[in-house]
Every structure is written in structure tokens, then in C-alpha cells.
Structure 1
Amino acid sequence: MAQKKIDEEEIEEDLEDVRIDISGWEPKTLLGKKVKSGEITSISELLKSPVPVREVEIIDYLVPDLREEIIDVSRVQRTTDSGRRMRFRVVTAVGNTNGYIGVGEAKGKEAGQTIRKSIQRAKLNLKEIKRGCGSWECGCGDPHSIPFRIYGKSGSVRVTLSPAPKGAGLVSGEIAKKILNLAGIKDVWVHTEGHTRTSINFAFAVLDALYNTRRIKLKEKDINELGVISGPISKNE
């Protein structure tokens, strides 16, 4: 128990210094140069580009209000000829609580470095999602939930997200709550199947479900009735 407490304190200290200082950032990629020069001014515009994001500074530059959450930290033992080797596996999530969410995973020898690497991967995996009010019990038209029932899958884990009325809250386990909060969703019902104790698959299944909200095409009438928005509520991203 004492060892667990020490590890948790170390992890909290490592979380205090995960943001990259971009004041002296000099872009190395064409996409980064377009962002720094002002040719690309929003994360929504960036994510529409077919070119993958290679610099994590791009995300920090366009979404300075990102929050980070550690989803899971586990020790992985590996037996070699020289004995047992201990490594950390870290799953993290990032989001601005306003329509953008990312999940990342990394392995490494030191907890702090592995946490930072996982957060950087989560940022590079940032996705824009749709929100709305799809619950027949509500119909308020505010984007507090999701516009329709949606599914996500990763490994053996399958997740179903269903719209919930305003005030219902996030009816889910802690991992899903962290991710949904970071995405800016306040009310939803979560149903899971498979080996949900596998944190990495569970986290990526929730992310897959949220990203799948963008794959469903709606008529203009439904968009208005369900209060559907893609990305942030405010135009000022």
C-alpha cells in the first residue's frame, strides 16, 4: 500500500509539467508553418486536412486550453535473460471540454517520461466530435448530450453511448466519465460489453464511439431539432 501511495504522489508531480512551452516554437513541418503563420487558424480547419499532424506544438498552439487526465498507469513485467524488467504502460486522455477529445497510450521505463509521451500521443490523436440532444425524454435542443445512439469498439470491448435527458449525468464507470467530461458531454448512458477491465481497450472504444458521431449524416431538419453541433459551441475556438 505504501508503494502505491508513493507512485501516486510521483504521478501527480509528473502531471504538473506536461505542457510544452511553445513560446520559442519553430515549426519543422509545412502544416506547422501554416499554423504559425496564421494560414490555419482553428483546430477544426486543421483536422479537415488530409495531412497528419506530426508536431504536438501545433495542437498546443491552436487549443491552449486542453486538459489532461491519466486514465490508467500499470506496471508491465518482462522476463529476459538478465532477469525481470519493469516497464510502465500509461493511458491518458486530453480534451478542451468543448467538442475535442484524444486518447493516447505509451510504454516506458520511467513513469514521468511515459506519461508525457502518452499525453503527446493523445494530443496528436485529437478528434472533433458531434454533440446534441437526442433524448426523447428531453428535447431541449442544447448540445449537452449526443444526438443519437452510437457504438464504438476496440479489441474485445464494445461500448454503446445513448442520449440522456438533461440532468441525468454521465451514467458510466470512471474511465468513460473522464473521457466524456473532457469531450464536453454532460449527460449520457453508457453500456459496455467484453473485457472492460482492459483500460486501454475501454478508453479507445469510448473514443471510437465519440468519433463515430461524425460518421452519421443527418438531414438539416434533424440537425436543428436535435441541436447538433460539431466541435465547440462558441465560434471562438
Structure 2
Amino acid sequence: KAENLWKSVTTVSNPGKRRGRGRGAGSKTVKDLNKGQTMGVGKVNMVWPGLNAPIVKGNEVVRRTALPEDKEYVEKLIRFRNEMDVYRKVRISPLERGWSGKSLLGRWYGPPDPVDGEPLTGFNTKLVVMKFGMTMDGNKGKVRRVRVAAITGNKKGCVGYGSAVGGDFRAVTKKAVNRAAQNLMFYDIHDGHTVTHDFFSQCEYTKVFVHKKPPGFGIVAHRAIKAVCDCIGIKDIYVKTEGANKNYENVIRAFMLGLARQKTYQQLADEKNLHLVEFRQERDYLPVVVASPSSGKVRTTSEIHPDEVMDFHMHLFDGQVRVQKSPKVPAYTRSEGYYKYLKNWHYQRSRQQVRVYLKAKYGEVISFLNIQEKEERERHRARSAQQHSSEERIASEQ
């Protein structure tokens, strides 16, 4: 009887089975013994070109070579198979997370492969584009294709961008990372934390307005531009993107093109034949001349044409102006209840500021009627004192 009772509780009834319940109840999971094993890798390790290693690496053809014996291979394999039944949630540090969840986009991927046997020390890579699609082939039909773009840099001004397309995700990712290492360029980092000056750049329909910021501001920009700044070493910057900002590749191209077109202070002073003066908040906006014309001749006010653009930002932005969007008015401001709220709130508007003002001027919080009464009393007292002094003077003269 006890067995029947426990069976009724722990098993599924016949009507429940017909409805599809309890399909996995009582069944044992089958372990895939192929997991954990790699083609060409075992207790006796070998480098097999085309199997577990590329046939051509760089400019050299990879040859079959024997590697040292891995004595712990069997123990690692058994440990891996025992952990297959245990589900462990992978936790990633908040500083190592990408743009969304466990995606590789926005996460540090690792350094590129060595070039001619020389490792790229100090370099790290971030993936910024990962698009999957299908193409039609005459023989194979639908073929899966993936496009990957990567940014690599050493956080000291050296950065490169590369992209690749192919069928295998791992191979394409590796190719994009290595191409980024082949396209390295150096950009100046002003004071070790920001750009030299504000600038405007454009790539097709993507516009980028870059603003120089003081230390501690941080990176406020498109996430693709933020990945470039992390790789290049820029710490404080503000970037406003307009147009096709969903095309990450054009956003990156526009930003890197603007970095390459930056001018030194001396070049800016020579263009206008004027002194270049800098105002900084940490210096209480004290004007400091950072560059002067190399010719030594500075134009006067009469020599400047009236139609010449003298605004510094307009000169750097090539006459382009950011779109100033008007603030959106909430829909509830047009409702009748909002007008009632304004009526009830109007009488106590600026109450806190008025209290502070009264305490600072009169030493206490008093009504304006008391203030008027005090002022009238003081005027009356001064008037009576003046009248009394005049009467005394007349009496003394008599």
C-alpha cells in the first residue's frame, strides 16, 4: 500500500502520459563521450596541419611536429565528463561584461597572433560587429555567412581596425583580429587622457561631433566609439553622433578619420595668423596663449575680413552645427489635472529659496508684512528723532 501511495505521488497517471506529461521522468541522461575531446589532441600530442593547426601560418608552411606528452589528459577528460551533469551558471565580472549579456561584443577578446614571431605585448582586442546572414550558393544552396569587425590597441595611442567575412565564426574572428593588428596607426593623446581639440568628421551618412573634456569626465559616446577609446587610451571625451548611427563600421571610420585629421596648436595658429588662447576651468578660466604664428606676424582687427569665421568651434567643425532638438513636451501637460496641480503648487513655488534669502538678510523667517511694519516703524522713529532735534535747536536759539 505504501508503494502504491508513493507511486501515485511521484509518477504520472495514464491520462497525464497521453497528454505528454512526464516525458523526461525517470529517464537517465546519456553522456556524449565526444565532448571534451579535440581532433588531433590526445595523450600523445601532435601538430597536424589542416586538422588541429592551420596549413599556412603567416608566410610559412606548418609542418607536422610532435609535442610533449600530456600525462594529465585522461584525468582532465574524466573530470570534465563528471561535471557534465552539474549545471553551473557562468558569472562574469561587471567590468568584463559586454554590451548585452554574455555576447562577445564589447568584451576584451585577447591579443592578436604574433607577427613574424614577435608577440604584440600590451595589445588587447574588442569585437564591435558580429552579423550573421545567409547567402545562396549554386551547389550548396543556403550557406551561412558571418561578418566580424574588431578593434585592437595598446591603450597608448596605437590602434587598428579590421574586418573579415566567412563561414566559420572562430576562423573569421581570428582573421578580423589579425587584420586589425596589420592596420595599426598611432594617434596623439592630449595630456594622456583626451583629444587635442574638438573636431567634426563624417563617413557617408554618419556624422560625428567630438568634444574635448577635462580629467574625470569619462567617456560619453556611442558604444562602438567607446570601444575604440578603450583600446586607444582616451579616458575623457564627449561624442555626439548623427545620421546612420546604427552602422557601427561607419561610426568607427568617421571617428578614426577625425582623429587622424587632428591639428596641432601651432597649425591652428598658423592658419589664422592669430594667437591661440586656451581657457581652462581648473585655472579659473585664466587665458593662456598656447601657440603663436610661426611667422611672428599677428593680424590686427582691421586686417580680419568681416565675413571670416572667427568662432573657434565653427572653424574646427568646418561650418557644421549640431542639430539642436527641442525638448519633448509630455502629453500630461495638456490635461486639466495638470493645470489644477499648477494652481495648488504655485503658491509654494520657490519657498525654500525665499526662506534662505530671509534668513540671510534678516536673520529669521518673517512675513513681508512684518518687514513693512518694521521699516515703517524705523522711518517713523527717524522722523520723530529729526523733528525732536530741530525743536531743540529752535529752543536753544531763542
Secondary structure of the residue aligned to 1:147 is coil
Percent sequence identity over matched residues? 21
| Alignment pair present for 1:83 and 2:132 | no
Secondary structure of the residue aligned to 1:102 is strand
> In the TM superposition, what is the alpha-carbon distance from 1:143 to its structure 2 partner?
2.9
Secondary structure of the residue aligned to 1:182 is helix
Alignment match, 2:265: 218
Secondary structure of the residue aligned to 1:143 is coil
| Match for residue 186 of structure 1 among 226, 230, 235 | 235
> In the TM superposition, what is the alpha-carbon distance from 1:123 to its structure 2 partner?
1.3
Q: Distance in 2 between matches of 1:156 and 1:115?
A: 27
110-119 or 154-163: bigger deviation: 154-163
Matches for 1:3-14 after TM superposition, within 5 Å: 8=103
| Match for residue 131 of structure 2 among 50, 74, 77 | 74
Larger Rg: 2
Q: Give 1:92's aligned amino acid.
A: A
| Match for residue 168 of structure 1 among 203, 209, 217 | 217
Secondary structure of the residue aligned to 1:75 is strand
Q: Deviations over 1:59-94 (max 9, x none)?
A: x4xx52111111121112212334222111001001
Q: 1:79 to 1:96 in 2, by over 3 A?
A: same
| Match for residue 158 of structure 2 among 100, 123, 133 | 100
| Alignment pair present for 1:65 and 2:122 | yes
Q: 1:155 to 1:84 in 2, by over 3 A?
A: farther
Q: Distance in 2 between matches of 1:151 and 1:88?
A: 32
Q: Distance in 2 between matches of 1:176 and 1:207?
A: 9
Q: Is the 8 A contact 1:160 1:209 kept in 2?
A: no
Q: Give 1:219's aligned amino acid.
A: Q
* Structure 1: gaps (5+ residues): 26-56, 133-141, 227-237
Alignment match, 1:109: 167
Q: Distance in 1 between matches of 2:266 and 2:159?
A: 25
Q: Distance in 2 between matches of 1:85 and 1:76?
A: 8
Q: Is the 8 A contact 2:112 2:124 kept in 1?
A: no
Q: Distance in 1 between matches of 2:239 and 2:157?
A: 18
Q: Give 2:230's aligned amino acid.
A: N
Q: 1:77 to 1:143 in 2, by over 3 A?
A: same
Q: Is the 8 A contact 2:206 2:242 kept in 1?
A: yes
| Match for residue 145 of structure 1 among 190, 194, 201 | 194
TM-score by length of 2: 0.39
CA RMSD, Structure 1 to Structure 2 (Å): 3.3
Q: Give 1:67's aligned amino acid.
A: N
Q: Give 1:77's aligned amino acid.
A: M
| Alignment pair present for 1:207 and 2:256 | yes
* Structure 2: gaps (5+ residues): 1-99, 268-274, 279-287, 291-398
Q: Is the 8 A contact 2:131 2:147 kept in 1?
A: yes
Q: Give 2:253's aligned amino acid.
A: F
Q: Give 2:213's aligned amino acid.
A: A
Alignment match, 1:20: 113
Q: Give 1:206's aligned amino acid.
A: F
| Match for residue 126 of structure 1 among 162, 180, 184 | 184
Q: Is the 8 A contact 2:187 2:260 kept in 1?
A: yes
- Number of equivalent positions: 173
Q: Distance in 2 between matches of 1:170 and 1:65?
A: 22
Q: 1:181 to 1:164 in 2, by over 3 A?
A: same
* Structure with the higher fraction of residues in strand conformation: 1
Q: Distance in 2 between matches of 1:187 and 1:64?
A: 25
Alignment match, 2:368: none
Q: Deviations over 1:89-139 (max 9, x none)?
A: 00100111111111111111111111111111111111111222xxxxxxx
Secondary structure of the residue aligned to 1:180 is helix
Q: Deviations over 1:7-28 (max 9, x none)?
A: 947xx8xx46x63246x73xxx
Q: 1:145 to 1:8 in 2, by over 3 A?
A: closer
Moved over 3 A (4+): 220-226
Secondary structure of the residue aligned to 2:265 is coil
Answer 1 or 2: higher relative contact order, Cα 8 Å, separation at least 6: 1
Secondary structure of the residue aligned to 1:131 is coil
Q: 1:225 to 1:181 in 2, by over 3 A?
A: farther
Q: Distance in 1 between matches of 2:208 and 2:182?
A: 23
